Chains A and B, each alone.
Chain A
């Protein structure tokens, strides 16, 4: 069994730095296993979040060799033998301790979003939806809230505009609501004004890091941007609004499911 070298960031909000560790590796080992091994044998106070250890809960997000990843799904054999593996906390969120960051901002964004508001049930007491009409929403609902997309998003990470943009995760959440065949709520005005859809400049970094392979930009954010454009910048609608001074023209809502 080979020995692998790690640099793990240790510290808290006051500061910190990388500490070197050596871990005996075994076949199939993932980065989280190595962190656990350090925790159990070398440093019992090494802080790391984790739960399912199978890529389903999105707890163990960290940056490995500079790239945002789930540590439970990152095998050591992806890195050439002899290469040191660095593990550090998500940069976009404030550090609590070691690999654990304060992600509460994300929960606050979610709370701002108007909840699902279904229409009436059919006469037999059931809702009816066709599978083809929910395929796209189901893609968005695969999200495990690992916040890797939030971490990598330039608007949040580099520009620090957490007060202006909810980030890819919540654009996807909004898309899952706006494209839900049963939903009757209108969130387009807030998507433009409050949630900041215009700030995304479609670099697709979020899509690249999504462990659930959700097409965040193409299937989620771009269609939402288009709804905003349809609503606010369509020249014909603009003229109609100008002439009839109707502020609440019901459009967009009837066109869900299509672009």
Chain B
């Protein structure tokens, strides 16, 4: 095909994904005077950010003056089991407050304190009330604010446009072949027409989210197919920390059609407690040593904390998500679960109906409509659900550039910020902080760029052929059934607790699934054809699933969102290493155990400091 016949759109920077990270990145690019475009698989304002409920973490210190960036940084490192990229966690904690205030300047209307400042709520793993919020619809507030601001910045928004693959000026830098090509653009297609489009761009920013759709029980929508991870991998970029997958402890478990749908941690932040079928607050049994000093060990103390009593320690229901998810799994396995295989989450007996409806309106609504259950009267049934990827594309901590020149990544699709486990509320702040930094990074890259990167017709044609083959095949398998098959495999073999045997079985199954995915057939025309769209996403989902499985098999310890039943301990050795994945010379996936740099002394001191040392220190 002569590529001059294909629609071509030119931008300085092209952002892939219009969630919070993507829009924030685009805003930063536009502010630098760059010709900026965003493409998104869905309509603007519908991305996963809209589903974030609890709040955005930032040490504003509005509710508790003792909070500051150092305590936030310390909480983040501890929550991430010290595997976070130190510099990223530092930048995040330092810059989050400004990013939140900036949103207010752009029109966000956060809930207020009595003094009229932005209110902040408690959340798992955060020492102080730290989450700026709007009831339980914080994500909606954020994405709408960003969206409404962005449309006046001269940014081109290309909606319902799906990225297929990057175009490089030069060959992809495969493992052990140091020099590779630089970004020249990207091929995509319009969902409405099924037509292809070439975007010429000097830099591309991926803000594509995670790959939770590879699991059966997930809070993620159809979009979360690891597109950025797949495309980055094929272009020679490195992936990091993919073994760390967050199972949110509280997803809905009943009815079956909503299994996995998120129940915000805000329920527990606002006083909700977890109970087993004996009505025991079982979380008291699961307090790990390292959090014991800061966690209430009696119900009396937990109740005092809820009343806001100074000195009372926080209840164990608010331990980090990995701890709570494992505890729930154990309770269910040992026969103390709820009728539909979860546990109970009770806020009805702790708070008044008025309070619940005011602070958790969408949870009230969600259970009322979908489960015919009134959460102001009865406890909810909840269980773990695949929610978030801590790992992702490996980036430079300051610029967000990947190992492919001109390719940047931010938000969930980038790895490193959250280490082994993400604290609730840190994703919304992550996407603001690193969205902005990636825009800055892309701007600096373009300034230094010499010459215009050249498009290669051969690459364009190969990308388009892969997509059209799915339609042109005489016959083939149903893409939705292959996806369901994959989801069952990952749910079964790469779950909350993993073992070498199961992971290896998972890899065998994935081998079979690669074969199946190569034979899928989409019927009818390419115009708004979900079967074709799902088939195109399958290779990304499979690459993501394989990367997670291989990384999980490699890390022989348990840490945060990665628990190995056969290595049920944290190892000092593994604390010094990351698992890095890239495409090998032979086309196979290569997994490397990469030594981490020693942390800067100043940051190490803060992360391991006692709270007394950090409280009240001047923010510097």
Kindly supply a per-residue 1/0 record for chain B positions 556-578, scoring 1 wherever the CB is within 8 Å of any chain A CB and 0 otherwise: 00000000000000000000000
Q: Is the CB of A48 closer than 8 A to any CB of chain B? A: yes
The distance in angstroms between the C-alpha atoms of A111 and B153, with both chains bound, is 11
Q: Is the CB of A180 closer than 8 A to any CB of chain B? A: yes
Let me know if B527 and A97 touch, CB within 8 A. yes
The distance in angstroms between the C-alpha atoms of A73 and B261, with both chains bound, is 13
Residue from A28, A41, A51 in contact with B221 in the complex, judged by beta carbons closer than 8 Å: A51
The distance in angstroms between the C-alpha atoms of A121 and B479, with both chains bound, is 54
Q: Is the CB of B152 closer than 8 A to any CB of chain A? A: yes
Let me know if B262 and A47 touch, CB within 8 A. no
* Those of A190-245 within 8 Å (CB) of chain B: none
Kindly supply a per-residue 1/0 record for chain A positions 11-30, scoring 1 wherever the CB is within 8 Å of any chain B CB and 0 otherwise: 01000000000000011111
Kindly supply a per-residue 1/0 record for chain A positions 100-127, scoring 1 wherever the CB is within 8 Å of any chain B CB and 0 otherwise: 1011100100110001101000000111
Q: Is the CB of B356 closer than 8 A to any CB of chain A? A: no
- On whether A130 and B478 interact (CB within 8 A), knowing A29-B257, A138-B134, the answer reads no
Q: Is the CB of A56 closer than 8 A to any CB of chain B? A: yes
Q: Is the CB of A248 closer than 8 A to any CB of chain B? A: no
Q: Which residues of A contact B149 (CB under 8 A)?
A: 115-116
Let me know if A44 and B479 touch, CB within 8 A. yes
Let me know if B531 and A39 touch, CB within 8 A. yes
Residue of B nearest to A137 (CB): B109
- On whether A128 and B257 interact (CB within 8 A), knowing A54-B366, A56-B51, A180-B109, the answer reads no
The distance in angstroms between the C-alpha atoms of A13 and B258, with both chains bound, is 33
Residue of A nearest to B113 (CB): A131
Q: Which residues of B contact A30 (CB under 8 A)?
A: 257, 370
Let me know if B480 and A52 touch, CB within 8 A. no
Q: Which residues of A contact B484 (CB under 8 A)?
A: 40
The distance in angstroms between the C-alpha atoms of A18 and B431, with both chains bound, is 43
Residue of B nearest to A107 (CB): B44
* Those of B45-79 within 8 Å (CB) of chain A: 45-48, 50-51
- On whether A129 and B116 interact (CB within 8 A), knowing A53-B258, A53-B261, the answer reads yes
Chain A contact residue count (CB 8 A cutoff):
59
Let me know if B531 and A54 touch, CB within 8 A. no
Q: Which residues of B contact A161 (CB under 8 A)?
A: none
Q: Is the CB of B117 closer than 8 A to any CB of chain A? A: yes
The distance in angstroms between the C-alpha atoms of A219 and B151, with both chains bound, is 26
State the total of A-B contacts with C-beta under 8 angstroms: 166
Let me know if B51 and A141 touch, CB within 8 A. no
Q: Which residues of A contact B530 (CB under 8 A)?
A: 39, 44-48
- On whether A44 and B478 interact (CB within 8 A), knowing A51-B42, A57-B46, the answer reads yes
Kindly supply a per-residue 1/0 record for chain A positions 48-88, scoring 1 wherever the CB is within 8 Å of any chain B CB and 0 otherwise: 11111111111100000000000001010000000000000
Kindly supply a per-residue 1/0 record for chain A positions 34-45, scoring 1 wherever the CB is within 8 Å of any chain B CB and 0 otherwise: 000001110011
Q: Is the CB of A186 closer than 8 A to any CB of chain B? A: no
The distance in angstroms between the C-alpha atoms of A53 and B255, with both chains bound, is 13
CB distance from B489 to the nearest CB of A (A): 17
Let me know if B112 and A134 touch, CB within 8 A. yes
Q: Is the CB of B256 closer than 8 A to any CB of chain A? A: yes
The distance in angstroms between the C-alpha atoms of A137 and B144, with both chains bound, is 14
The distance in angstroms between the C-alpha atoms of A47 and B534, with both chains bound, is 12
Let me know if A55 and B369 touch, CB within 8 A. yes
Let me know if B480 and A40 touch, CB within 8 A. yes
Most buried by A among B45, B104, B109, B134: B109
Given contacts A26-B255, A28-B255, 11 further A-B contacts (CB under 8 A): A44-B522, A53-B221, A55-B370, A56-B139, A59-B46, A75-B369, A100-B528, A125-B101, A127-B105, A129-B109, A131-B112
What are 17 A-B residue pairs whose CB atoms fall within 8 Å in the complex?
A: A12-B527, A29-B257, A33-B257, A41-B480, A45-B529, A51-B46, A51-B223, A53-B258, A73-B369, A100-B528, A103-B43, A116-B106, A126-B101, A134-B112, A141-B140, A141-B144, A142-B361
